[in-house]
Amino acid sequence: MAFGRSSRRTAPIEPVTLKILVAGGFGVGKTTLVGAVSEIRPLRTEESLTEAGAAVDDLSGVESKTTTTVAMDFGRITLREDLVLYLFGTPGQDRFWFLWDELAQGALGAVVLADTRRLSDCFAAVDYFERRGIPFAVAVNRFEGAEPFPPETVRGALDLDPEVPLLMGDARDRESVKGILVSVVEHALARVDREREPAAR
């Protein structure tokens, strides 16, 4: 053995990988969120909005939007050396919701992005995760010009259970998004732990 060196080598850490969904209404910032935090080039399945979709795509409040996700967004972030998140952004329009069940398989939890100017657009996502028992947090994406409603008002409008985290953030900001994802993981793992606890006798 050379002086000052050990012949032992530290075994590489095999990280735990977790799947997180990013959901919400049309134009709420799901693609932006995945892109802001992903350490790899995000996979995007965006197509241009066309006149053919004008009858089914509600652009109220997002008139400047020119593309839409038609399958999913995909990204990856390493939160710690031993913890990697795979992010799957869901399509926001009703006509693509048949993909949600497949994307939701194996998901630990989800982020539901909300825009206070179009709060009703995230009702369906909240209902989806509640009905399927998938832990989720609601993250209000702060858009310029949107009225900054108090968290209690947003929680009441969405009729969220008390244990559902309600967060304020910016889908364009990496650190803000990381904070949201950490909260989702902590919430989901805490729920898993509670469900594993033996019932009181």
Spatial contact of 77 and 87, defined as CB atoms under 8 Å apart: yes
Measured CA to CA, the distance from residue 105 to residue 134 in angstroms comes to: 10
Measured CA to CA, the distance from residue 193 to residue 181 in angstroms comes to: 18
Strands 67-80 and 136-141: unpaired
pLDDT, tens digit, for every residue of 151-170? 999 999 999 999 999 999 99
More confident residue, 37 or 200: 37
Hey, which of 45-54, 70-79, 124-133 has the most confident mean pLDDT?
A: 124-133
> Percentage helix, strand, coil, to 5, in the chain?
35, 25, 40
Question: pTM here?
Answer: 0.79
Strands 166-169 and 136-141: parallel
127 phi and psi angles, rounded to 5 deg: -65, -40
DSSP output for 15-78: -EEEEEEEEESTTSSHHHHHHHH-SSPPEEEEEE--GGGTTT---TT-TT--EEEEEEEEEEEE
The CATH number of 16-196, from 3.40.1010.10, 3.40.50.300, 3.10.290.10, 3.40.50.720, is: 3.40.50.300
Measured CA to CA, the distance from residue 188 to residue 10 in angstroms comes to: 31
Spatial contact of 2 and 10, defined as CB atoms under 8 Å apart: no
- Is 109 a residue whose pLDDT tops 90? yes
Q: What is the mean pLDDT of the chain?
A: 84
| 7 — pLDDT class (breaks 50, 70, 90) | low
- Is 117 a residue whose pLDDT tops 50? yes
| 53 — pLDDT class (breaks 50, 70, 90) | very low
